[in-house]
């Protein structure tokens, strides 16, 4: 089980060890919801970068995302907030995600995605 989820379950176990059955059921439901939310976020976070950051193809034909530019002309400032939040999440959860986000040396705002080996 994922480390983050394991830690959440352990905290809930400690918190509910002296609690009544209703509180334990509520904690279990909350943890199940957290587990689902993390799974959804892990599955969709890459698409936030792909959708909201400007993309182009490098000389090898690989998609590169410029995380400082909007995907579309006239994009809103919130678009880049979504990109920054997604990148922070990817950095925090890198060990648990099925892909790598690689930053270009000397231009770390340029990223590309690769499947993990």
What's this model's pTM, rounded to 2 decimal places?
Answer: 0.76
- 33-77 tens-digit pLDDT: 788 888 888 889 999 999 999 999 999 999 999 999 988 877 888
Q: Which residues of 89-113 are buried (b: 16+ CB within 10 A; e: fewer)?
A: bbeebeeebeeebeeeeeeeebbbb
Nearest-CA neighbor of 46 among 108, 99, 104?
Answer: 99
């Amino acid at each position: 089980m994922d480390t983050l989820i394991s830690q959440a379950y352990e905290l809930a176990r400690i918190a509910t060890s002296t609690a009544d059955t209703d509180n334990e059921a509520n904690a279990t439901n909350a943890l199940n919801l957290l587990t689902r939310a993390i799974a959804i976020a892990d599955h969709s976070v890459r698409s936030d970068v792909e959708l909201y950051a400007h993309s182009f193809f490098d000389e090898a034909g690989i998609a590169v995302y410029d995380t400082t530019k909007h995907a579309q002309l006239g994009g809103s400032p919130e678009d880049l907030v979504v990109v920054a939040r997604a990148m922070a999440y990817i950095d925090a959860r890198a060990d648990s995600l099925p892909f790598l986000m690689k930053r270009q040396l000397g231009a770390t705002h340029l990223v590309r995605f690769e499947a993990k080996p």
